[in-house]
């Protein structure tokens, strides 16, 4: 039962993807035009992999290590494991880059990135990474039978 609750937390925030392969950005406030990359992407990966690691009594402490151990156990296809690792790395890289930029500009670091400041390739990678997060959330939903309890 505890694993189900932990997995549900990983589904609490859907990736900020809109219709027609668009990014769902904040419409107002200080983050207007931005995306909270931690809430909308990184959190689901971290929490979902933490849940699976606990289920399998793994001792790995970090997200990349948990993913590697779970993949080695055959819980993901090689393709999905590679996509999850690439998505996690890319989302973290963007997050750190925007936080470093904020610090250089004398602002507090946050988890918001602004897709309009990305080039086309990075924006496409962001969308692809968020689609992988959504796929992982679907996997968790099914694996932990989250349709069975509200």
> What domains appear along the chain, each with residue ranges and CATH number?
2-13+31-143 (1.20.120.330)
Query: How much is the pLDDT for 1?
Result: 63
Q: Whole-angstrom Cα distance, residue 65 to residue 52?
A: 12
| Averaged pLDDT of the chain | 94
Query: How much is the pLDDT for 150?
Result: 63
pTM of the model as a whole: 0.93
**DSSP three-state, residue 112:** strand
Residue 3's Cβ-side half-sphere holds a number of Cα atoms within 13 Å equal to 15
């Amino acid at each position: 039962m505890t694993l189900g609750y932990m997995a549900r937390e990983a589904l609490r925030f859907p990736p900020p993807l809109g219709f027609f392969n668009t990014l769902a950005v904040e419409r107002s406030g200080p983050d207007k035009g931005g995306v909270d990359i931690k809430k909308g992407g990184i959190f689901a990966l971290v929490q979902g992999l933490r849940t699976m690691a606990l289920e399998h009594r793994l001792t790995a402490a970090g997200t990349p290590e948990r993913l590697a151990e779970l993949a080695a156990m055959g819980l993901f296809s090689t393709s999905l494991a590679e996509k999850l690792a690439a998505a996690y790395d890319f989302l973290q890289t963007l997050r750190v880059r925007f936080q470093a930029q904020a610090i250089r500009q004398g602002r507090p670091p946050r988890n918001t990135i602004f897709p309009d400041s990305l080039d086309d390739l990075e924006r496409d990678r962001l969308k692809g990474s968020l689609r992988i997060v959504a796929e992982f959330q679907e996997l968790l939903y099914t694996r932990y039978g989250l349709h069975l309890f509200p």
